[in-house]
Homo-oligomer: A and B are copies of this chain.
Amino acid sequence: ARGWVALVGGGPGADGLLTARGHELLRSADVVVVDRLAPRDVVDRLPDSVVVIDVGKTPGHHPIPQERINEILVEQARLGRAVVRLKGGDPYVLGRGGEERLACEAAGVPVEVVPGVTSAVSVPAAAGIPVTHRGLARGFTVVTGHEELASVPAGGDHTLVLLMGVARLHETAALLVRHGRAADTPVAIVERGWTPGQRTTTGTLATIADRAALRGVESPAVIVVGEVVRLSPEWDAA
């Protein structure tokens, strides 16, 4: 048999938010290469005959370099195996899916990309926050690096979704205010969205960093900045 690779967006972690095509490909997989953020329930329910290769970063261990992950995909497919690369969220939203696709193509390995429910939109939704909403936001920006924060639209009516982790939150909030956002712009941090451990912390650009520190907020988390945060049942401006 000729091997192949499918880069499957696993969604934010809830079992039900994997696509039908994703489930279908997993049923025919010989090998599943998983991330730290791939949906755990889905991985745990794979039959014993499926080889699971975990390339996620775990505390105290060095992450597997992307180049090595690319090699693993190609190697496994060349052994004639059906390989599903299961990722958290969507393969093309900070998922390195483009690199993996190019590596497969360069090696002549058939590769399919299956979009997933991106965490950038669905994790805010888990806390009742729509990234767009009539009268509140017509568009949204997703960023991962501090370098970009200076140039994002500054209006409270354009939603900002930060996937960069919470470690530099104090600096991030200050930078956004310095570049024109109102200090009272609502902010929400959603930890572990779509899992039983989901927790939402709200505040404003002025208060959120201190609140997050007080509650011990940690990654993985999605940060949402903008007026739409007021639609969350957990919004608390006080």
Contacts and interface: CB of A to CB of B under 8 A. Distances in A.
A139 B131 contact: no
A141 B138 contact: no
Nearest to A66: B134
A12 B142 contact: no
A16 interface: yes
A238 to B, nearest CB: 22
Interface in A120-171: 121-122, 124-125, 128-134, 138-145, 147-148, 151-155, 158
Given A116-B117, A148-B138, A130 B97 contact: yes
A207 interface: no
A204 to B, nearest CB: 21
Contact of A139 (B19, B23, B124, B144): B144
A10 to B, nearest CB: 11
A94 B132 contact: yes
Contacts of A139: 141-145, 148
Nearest to A136: B98
Contacts of A94: 132, 138
9 tightest Cβ-Cβ pairs between the two chains A and B: A16-B21, A92-B130, A115-B122, A98-B130, A139-B143, A151-B153, A141-B141, A98-B133, A138-B145
Given A19-B20, A138-B143, 14 more contacts: A9-B117, A14-B21, A15-B20, A19-B19, A20-B20, A20-B23, A90-B125, A91-B130, A99-B133, A99-B134, A101-B128, A113-B125, A138-B147, A139-B144
